Amino acid sequence: MNLFQLGDYSYGGFGSAPKFPNAANVSFLFRYAKLSGLSKFNEFALKTLSKMAKGGIFDQIGGGFHRYSTDAKWLVPHFEKMLYDNALIPVNYAEAYQITKDEFYLDVLKKTLDFVLRDMTSSEGGFYSAYDADSEGVEGKFYVWKKSEIKQILSDDTELFCLFYDVTDGGNWEGNNILCNNLPISSVAFNFGMNEAKVRDILDSCGKKLLAERYKRIPPGLDDKILTSWNSLMITAFAKGYRVTGDQRYLDAAANCVSFIEKNLLSGDKLLRTYKNKIAKIDGYLEDYSYFVNALLDVFEIKPDPKYLHLAERLGQYLVDHFWDDANSSFYMTSDNHEKLIVRPKSNYDLSVPSGNSVSAFALLRLYHLTQKNLFLEVSAKIMESQAQMAAENPFGFGYLLNTIYTYLQKPVEITIINDENSQICNLLYMKFLPEALMVTIKNKSQLDGLSQVPFFAGKNFEDKTSVFVCKDFVCSLPLHTADQVESSL
């Protein structure tokens, strides 16, 4: 069954109700569109992201995504909010923005990351796991509205807000309104005889008023444990968010969480899985290691402090030493020094979160390109070879692995930006959809000196103007100094 046959052409997404976001499959469609040159794959993925962002599965005023939609139209969510969804989905919107340059996608990304900063970040820098669906014993009570309530809060702006967000006296769910949007801003502007910018300002200010009012309600229960694996996914999301927005808060959140994990969940080369009430426990699983190695590399690309790369390399080596099953060319879920289980389980499917094997393959492939350690490439290739057939037959369950295979077959493009003072060149690269690229930005000479022993940076010198090296298959360009040169070398 191919992925496209599962697609819902009316509302986007895969299958019918209940409908989950399936972030890995959306990102694979973007890559397949680039590979095949067929725009229909992009169009379907973008339609999915657009419909999700306008539906009730997206918290229209608070930001962030609920766990899944109970209907095919993305209108009525199961109101739980999981950290992993709010880490995986924003990466789709970052890529959608790179592909389209449409601010709509960027806005959803920012609202989601801002929600996590505001409501899911601990004072120590880790991220909480989830919010329950119900408050005061009623599902969704925290999130839904009566039109009469909105009128009391918004007075003169009520009709404009209610037209845009589909709010009616009778409601669209059990007598209440789940905010959603089916009308373009242009129609609302025309209806009220205003320009679009004015409508946006009014909607923005109304949203803030309702959000402030909502915070006076009794909130859903918070699961405040901090999981290494899900936190690592969130580090990746903040790093990607920083790339496309330049918002320093996002990079700080990513770096702070790395520090939090190093301080509280890492002992030597051993990761622990979970942290709550200042206590860390349970030996790390495959996904804790693989997601964290990947997250370290995401932060390293933007902030190339050697400590991130060295730690990623150490943990990558630990993975191979303690989780690898050579006979079956894949990783176990638990290490050989984990508390003994009757059977050492394995997981290969990319479902609500990517499988540890898929992410390991990707992280080790990246590590190989940075360090030239052949072991990392050999292990990564073995995982892909052992699972490629299954992935081809069931792409729905292997979206993240297919993204990794895509990168491997396309051969990663290695981009080094040295001296980022020319923002035109940097932005050209940051805003481009380059899923197969490893892109490291070196800000100053001491950073480059600290990396002089790393093969990726060999023979590259710091210049007093921005220079870009583009390498592929061990062949590198001369230093490029203009946006046009960079564009044509890609």
Residue-wise pLDDT for 186-225, tens only, equals 999 999 999 999 999 999 999 999 999 999 999 999 999 9
pLDDT computed for residue 418 by the predictor: 96
Q: What's residue 72's pLDDT?
A: 95
Q: What is the mean pLDDT of residues 415-442?
A: 95
Q: How many CB atoms lie within 10 A of CB 111?
A: 20
User: Quick one: pLDDT at residue 66?
Assistant: 98
pTM of the complete model: 0.97
Backbone dihedral region for residue 268 (phi beyond 0: left; psi -120 to 50: alpha; all else: beta): left
- pLDDT tens by residue, 228-240: 999 999 999 999 9
Please give the average per-residue pLDDT across 322-347, as a whole number: 84
Judge whether residue 1 has pLDDT over 60: no
The set of residues, in sequence order, having a beta carbon less than 8 Å from that of 68 and lying 6+ positions away, is 18, 19, 20, 21, 57, 77, 78
Would you tell me the crossing angle of helices 248-264 and 103-119 to the nearest 10 degrees?
A: 40
Q: What is the pLDDT of residue 459?
A: 86
Average pLDDT over residues 78-93: 98
* Residue 336 pLDDT grade (very low, low, confident, very high; cuts 50, 70, 90): confident
Mean pLDDT confidence for 474-485 = 91
Q: Are 432 and 98 in contact (CB under 8 A)?
A: yes
- What angle in degrees, to the nearest 10, is found between the helix axes of 248-264 and 228-245? 160
Please report which confidence band the pLDDT of residue 342 belongs to, taking 50, 70 and 90 as the band edges.
low
Per-residue pLDDT band for 455 (boundaries 50, 70, 90) equals very high
Listed in sequence order, the residues at least 6 apart from 231 whose beta carbon sits closer than 8 Å to its beta carbon are 83, 126, 127, 257, 260, 261
Band the pLDDT of 335: cuts 50, 70, 90. Answer: confident
Is the pLDDT at 343 greater than 80? The verdict is no
Per-residue model confidence (pLDDT) at position 474: 82
For the chain, the average pLDDT equals 95
pLDDT digits (tens, 9 = 90+) for 14-45: 988 899 999 999 999 999 999 999 999 999 99
pLDDT of residue 170 exceeding 80, the answer is yes
First to last CA, the chain: 34
What was the pLDDT predicted at 324?
96
The pLDDT, as a whole number, for residue 263 is 98
- Phi, psi for 456 (deg, rounded to 5): -55, -30
Average the pLDDT over 400-423 and give the result. Answer: 95
How many angstroms separate the CA atoms of 172 and 182, rounded?
A: 13
More confident of the two residues 328 and 346 = 328
Residue 356 has pLDDT above 70, yes or no: yes
pLDDT digits (tens, 9 = 90+) for 99-115: 999 999 999 999 999 99
440 within 8 A of 448, measured Cβ to Cβ: no
pLDDT band at residue 378, thresholds of 50, 70 and 90? Answer: very high
Where does 225-410 sit in CATH, by number? 1.50.10.20
Tokens of 312: 């990623």
Q: How confident is the model at residue 3 (pLDDT cuts 50, 70, 90)?
A: confident
Q: What is the pLDDT of residue 338?
A: 75
Q: What is the mean pLDDT of residues 72-86?
A: 97
Report the amino acid identity of residue 442. I
**For residue 344, is pLDDT > 70?**
no
Residues 6+ positions from 112 with CB-CB distance below 8 Å: 63, 64, 65, 86, 89, 90, 93
Helix, strand and coil in the chain, % to nearest 5: 55, 15, 35
pLDDT at 479: 92
Spans of all domains in the chain: 143-214, 225-410, 413-489
- Class of CATH domain 143-214: mainly alpha
pLDDT of residue 409: 95
Distance, CA of 426 to CA of 441 (rounded, Å): 9
> What is the pLDDT at residue 139?
95
Averaged over 472-480, what is the pLDDT?
A: 90
The average pLDDT across 94-101 equals 98
Burial string for 72-83 (b: 16+ CB within 10 Å, else e) reads bbbbbbbbbbbb
